[in-house]
Amino acid sequence: MLKRTEGIALKSTVFGEADLIVAFLTKDFGLMRGFAKSPRKIKSRFGSSLEPLTYSTLSFIGKEDAGLPRITQSDIIMPFSSLREDYKSFLKAAEIIDLALRFLPEKEPHPELFSLMLGTLKGLDAGADNRLGYLYHKIKFLQMSGLAPRLDMCGRCGCELVEKQGGYGPKHTFYVSHGTVICKDCGKETGQSMQIAEGALRFYASLLKWPVMSIDRIKAPEIFMNDLSSLIDSHIRFVLGPGTSSPDTVIYRITAGQK
């Protein structure tokens, strides 16, 4: 049966002489892998449309729940060429693609996550100051995957930190290996910890509530961004495991097998 959807190519792997296996984040079927026959033989539009980071309409044969559906046609909607040419933006894109490949289950539709990914890539492609969009993507992704760090209450006793510490307490302590903040009454834990300003906790809470696609209207205080960025990156590194997130490794992982 022929099916159509929209998808963002996340990774392509050479298969046999000239064939490719491509992982896509699709609008209708979630993370999905497909097989493409000989797109590399000639430098074709079909071949270009299957390169990582390309947003296309896709046609494939075979049930999306079959082992490996065959991609029969793919037409580029957005190539994200500016993003590819800018190393810093490309690195950010590679990181969020890597997150998707590692954490998303295959073949589970997730239209909200698709919108998030598309919105973030458009932001990176536009080349504006996209620091907040990039942070927002990671926070929303963790939230949607059930992996978001807990910053609203103590992970030990469940007290609400802001209330308990009486308004604008200076800093709270986030424990990386616990994935949560722990209040002063519950005492010190061992392991890597970070101090985070209460304002940053509030900002995090509002980002979690903010609907996808409307991020460009938010002005973020730089100091909260710094606190939150380093907290989220430490949290992701811990969740991913050691030695897995150097920029070169991440870029290699999505482009392995590409000429």
The whole-angstrom separation of Cα 45 and Cα 103 is 30
Q: Which residues pair with 175 in a beta bridge?
A: 180, 193
Write down the least CB distance from residue 136 to Zn ion, Å. Answer: 28
Q: Could you give the CA distance from residue 148 to residue 154 in angstroms, rounded to a whole number?
A: 14
Tell me whether residue 6 or residue 189 sits nearer to Zn ion (CB atom): 189
Q: In the range 185-214, which residues lie near Zn ion by CB under 5 A?
A: 186
Nearer residue to Zn ion within complex by CB, 105 or 191: 191
Question: How many residues form the binding site for Zn ion (CB under 5 A)?
Answer: 5
CB of 49 to Zn ion, least distance (A): 52
Q: Which of 78, 47, 7, 24 is nearest to 259 (CA)?
A: 47
CB of residue 178 to Zn ion, shortest distance in Å: 11
* Segment 127 to 156, residues that bind Zn ion, using CB under 5 A: 154, 156
Q: Are 36 and 28 in contact (CB under 8 A)?
A: no
Cβ atoms of 43 and 9 within 8 Å: the answer is no
Closer Cβ to Zn ion, 89 or 173, answer by number: 173
- Residues 158 to 187 in contact with Zn ion, rule: CB under 5 A: 183, 186
Measured CA to CA, the distance from residue 15 to residue 7 in angstroms comes to 20
Give the binding site for Zn ion (CB under 5 A): 154, 156-157, 183, 186
